[in-house]
């Protein structure tokens, strides 16, 4: 038996072409004849926006018709369809709202450049199964296209001869839903999905989108529709759902349009917040209603502008059902429709109460260790001052050259001990202050001001942008200048340069006109103990930079001067014309 569409069916489909849109005004179904009129090929995906198949004014009219609709209302609007091969065509659309928040647009097409032969060819080439079934007075297949064979494994004749036999291949748990959908479907609600056993024994997930023909008594007498294989998509959805259901963090989605509602929250919500999924589904603002009084402003500002871009996650305290405080860290992303309207937010919440307690304990311990180190260092330096003074006085009256030599070595050792003790103070400060956005030019100028009396020209850029680093990074620039003066052998100019690279990273260059660094020493100069002084300056500089993710290398040529390159990651560099994001955190 041929699968060619009968003339009557082609006429029926062409007479009433439809576009089905969901609650977000995205097309989910375009009838085959209308696809032909729009110039869409069988393999082309459904356009993601109304603006892809009609002009902006038409899409706006549909949008406002849906905003102002009442249940059961419908209206006819003038629209202009965008036909790929023939430009825009005037048409009309009857808007039929559905209870699911979407609508059916029944399109009236004027005579155009398409034909019933084009429609028939399109139907037969479509990868989706297109069908037309008469329900009353008896179940009769009026049409099914060639895709029936690939989706079910059966020949189309099987469906024509025994239409109800295919119900045996529907999964028993889904069979009742499928029968009910075909018997009670009115207009368009949502796609019907079910499991179907292919003739080869493989279970597949199919999705049906259909429109009924209703008689004068309101009874469904026929159904026309499209069936597609969504097995791969369903498998991906199931894997993601399984991941979300097992994730220890709370994953959620809150819809904002057309009304505020919780669309999904995983079971971890109870472990994270103390509130069950049922409670969060019933009240999307449950966390706001139980936020700690001191942090209420944080959540109120968030819900006032949920789609606003933020730098980093929100941190706020809530009171669980037992009144116990919990510190919550929340990261969200906005979800916009094709017209850039905010329709939902998706995010993750985690309970960081224990993590914060550990961090507070470590900070307290560090303060105690720092206090002990400071006191000990102060006492050692006091005793060193006494020792250095005594050695100086002893040498002043000493005439014996040999003893004077020993006294000089003792003074050098005491001075080195003093520098090493001061180095422990610098090491202690690393990682204590926390990162902040610092002006690169201003930070280098502060470091260079310590060498105002030196016979050297230090060139610093006026701006250069900002860097996310600890304030201690000023010591890095001090070390680079000091290193050039100590080891550069006649350095006259030290030049700093800042450059933003195409990948968003930053490059800070410090170059002098001294003797340069030998090739075999370029890596070793950053090791501890290498150098003519304490051997700790460049070692500490590299450690300070490493905390901010900045890499330092020496790339100069011997005889042309030393050249230090500091490569700043994109997340820690901001060019002069880049705005600084706002921070939102609980105190």
Q: Considering only CA atoms, which of 467, 73, 436, 12 is closest in space to residue 213?
A: 12
Domain endpoint, select from 79, 105, 125: 125
* Residue 582 resides in a domain: no
* Residue 587 resides in a domain: no
Q: Considering only CA atoms, which of 321, 344, 332, 335 is closest in space to residue 272?
A: 321
How buried is 536 (Cβ within 10 angstroms: 0-12 exposed, 13-18 middle, 19+ buried)? buried
* Residue 583 resides in a domain: no
- pLDDT of 398 reads 65
CATH of the domain at 487: 3.30.565.10
* Residue 581 resides in a domain: no
pTM above 0.75, yes or no: no
**Domain match, 539 and 529 both:** yes
Domain endpoint, select from 100, 125, 150: 125
**Domain match, 554 and 454 both:** yes
Q: How far apart are CA 99 and CA 17, in angstroms?
A: 21
CA dihedral sign of residues 34, 38, 43, 46: negative
* Residue 482 resides in a domain: yes
How buried is 172 (Cβ within 10 angstroms: 0-12 exposed, 13-18 middle, 19+ buried)? exposed
List the beta strands (DSSP E) in 294-415.
314-319, 325-336, 342-351
- Which positions ≥6 away from 127 have C-beta within 8 Å? 42, 43, 147, 150, 228
CATH of the domain at 211: 3.30.450.20
Q: Considering only CA atoms, which of 405, 485, 495, 510 is closest in space to residue 458?
A: 495
- pLDDT of 231 reads 92
- pLDDT of 423 reads 66
**Domain match, 208 and 304 both:** no
Residue 219, classed as helix, strand or coil, is coil
- Which positions ≥6 away from 187 have C-beta within 8 Å? 96, 98, 104, 211, 212
**Domain match, 409 and 459 both:** no
Q: How far apart are CA 552 and CA 541, in angstroms?
A: 9
**Domain match, 440 and 542 both:** yes
Please confirm whether the linkage preceding 333 is cis (ω < 30° from 0): no
Q: Indicate the pairing of strand 342-351 with strand 325-336.
A: antiparallel
**Domain match, 104 and 133 both:** no
Reading the block at residue 286, the tokens are 């449950």
Q: How far apart are CA 526 and CA 278, in angstroms?
A: 58
Instruction: Please report, for residues 85, 114, 130, the alpha-carbon distance to residue 42 in angstroms, rounded to integers and kept in the order given.
Output: 15, 15, 12
Ordered mean pLDDT values, 10 residues apiece, the chain (587 residues): 36 57 85 80 82 90 78 70 78 80 79 59 79 85 90 91 89 88 59 91 90 75 86 88 93 90 94 93 90 90 81 89 93 86 92 92 82 81 86 78 84 80 69 80 90 87 87 88 86 93 93 91 82 68 87 92 94 76 36
Domain endpoint, select from 369, 402, 429: 429
* Residue 410 resides in a domain: yes
Task: Give the number of domains in the chain.
Answer: 5
- Radius of gyration (C-alpha) of the chain in whole angstroms: 37
- pLDDT of 556 reads 92
Q: How far apart are CA 205 and CA 394, in angstroms?
A: 96
- Which positions ≥6 away from 332 have C-beta within 8 Å? 306, 314, 345, 346, 347, 348
**Domain match, 267 and 227 both:** no
Q: Considering only CA atoms, which of 87, 115, 120, 102 is closest in space to residue 29?
A: 102
- Which positions ≥6 away from 26 have C-beta within 8 Å? 48, 49, 50, 337, 338
- pLDDT of 391 reads 84
- pLDDT of 587 reads 31
Residue 583, classed as helix, strand or coil, is strand
* Residue 489 resides in a domain: yes
* Residue 210 resides in a domain: yes
**Domain match, 212 and 316 both:** no
**Domain match, 32 and 157 both:** no
**Domain match, 117 and 226 both:** no
**Domain match, 364 and 424 both:** yes
**Domain match, 141 and 260 both:** no
Domain that holds residue 391: 357-429
Q: Give 478-484's long-range contacts (Cβ < 8 A, gap of 24+).
A: 478/447, 478/450, 479/537, 479/538, 479/540, 479/541, 480/510, 480/541, 480/564, 481/447, 481/448, 481/450, 481/451, 481/510, 482/451, 482/537, 483/537, 483/538, 483/562, 484/456, 484/510, 484/512, 484/514, 484/562
* Rounded (10°) angle between helices 473-487 and 440-448: 50
């Amino acid at each position: 038996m041929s699968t060619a569409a009968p003339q009557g069916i082609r006429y029926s489909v062409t007479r009433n072409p439809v576009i089905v849109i969901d609650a977000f005004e995205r097309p989910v179904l375009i009838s085959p004849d209308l696809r032909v009129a729009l110039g869409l090929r069988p393999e082309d995906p459904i356009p993601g926006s109304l603006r892809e198949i009609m002009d902006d004014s038409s899409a706006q009219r549909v949008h406002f018709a849906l905003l102002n609709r009442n249940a059961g209302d419908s209206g006819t609007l003038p629209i202009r369809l965008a036909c790929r091969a023939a430009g825009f065509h005037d048409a009309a659309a009857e808007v039929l709202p559905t209870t699911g928040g979407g609508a059916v647009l029944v399109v009236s097409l004027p005579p155009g450049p398409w034909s019933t032969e084009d429609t028939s060819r399109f139907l037969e080439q479509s990868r989706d199964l297109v069908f037309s079934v008469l329900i009353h007075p008896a179940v009769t297949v009026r049409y099914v296209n060639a895709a029936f064979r690939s989706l079910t494994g059966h020949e189309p004749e099987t469906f024509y001869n025994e239409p109800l036999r295919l119900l045996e291949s529907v999964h028993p748990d889904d069979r009742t839903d499928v029968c009910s959908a075909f018997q009670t479907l009115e207009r368009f609600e949502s796609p019907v999905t079910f499991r179907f056993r292919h003739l080869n024994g493989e279970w597949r997930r199919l999705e049906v989108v259909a429109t009924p023909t209703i008689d004068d008594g309101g009874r469904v007498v026929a159904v026309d529709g499209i069936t597609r294989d969504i097995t791969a998509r369903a498998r991906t959805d199931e894997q993601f759902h399984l991941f979300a259901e097992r994730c220890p963090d709370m994953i959620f989605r809150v819809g904002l349009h057309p009304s505020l509602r919780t669309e999904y929250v995983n079971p971890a919500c109870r472990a994270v917040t103390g509130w069950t999924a049922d409670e969060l589904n019933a009240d999307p603002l449950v966390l706001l209603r139980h936020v700690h009084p001191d942090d209420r402003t944080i959540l109120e500002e968030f819900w006032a502008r949920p789609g606003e871009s933020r730098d980093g996650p929100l941190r706020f305290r809530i009171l669980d059902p037992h009144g116990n405080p919990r510190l919550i860290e929340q990261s969200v992303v906005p979800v916009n429709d094709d017209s850039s309207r905010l329709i939902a937010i998706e995010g993750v919440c985690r309970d960081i109460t224990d993590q914060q307690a550990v961090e507070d304990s470590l900070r307290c311990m560090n303060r105690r260790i720092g206090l002990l180190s400071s006191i000990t260092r102060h006492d050692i330096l006091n005793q060193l001052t006494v020792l250095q003074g005594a050695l100086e006085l002893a040498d002043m009256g000493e005439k014996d050259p040999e003893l004077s030599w020993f006294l000089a070595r003792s003074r050098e050792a005491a001075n080195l001990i003093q520098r090493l003790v001061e180095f422990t103070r610098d090491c202690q400060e690393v990682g204590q202050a926390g990162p902040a956005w610092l002006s690169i030019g201003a930070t280098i100028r502060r470091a260079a001001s310590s060498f105002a009396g030196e016979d050297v020209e230090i060139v610093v850029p006026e701006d250069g942008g900002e860097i996310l680093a600890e304030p201690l990074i000023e010591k890095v620039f001090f070390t680079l200048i000091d290193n050039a003066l100590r080891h550069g052998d006649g350095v006259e100019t030290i030049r700093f340069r800042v450059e933003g690279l195409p990948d968003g990273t930053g490059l800070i260059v410090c170059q002098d006109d001294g003797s340069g660094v030998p090739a075999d020493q370029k890596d070793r100069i950053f090791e501890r103990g290498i150098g003519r002084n304490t051997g700790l300056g460049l070692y500490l500089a590299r450690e300070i930079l490493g905390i901010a993710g900045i890499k330092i290398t020496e790339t100069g040529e011997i005889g042309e001067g030393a050249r230090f390159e500091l490569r700043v990651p994109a997340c820690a560099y901001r060019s002069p014309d880049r705005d600084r994001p706002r921070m939102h955190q609980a105190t």
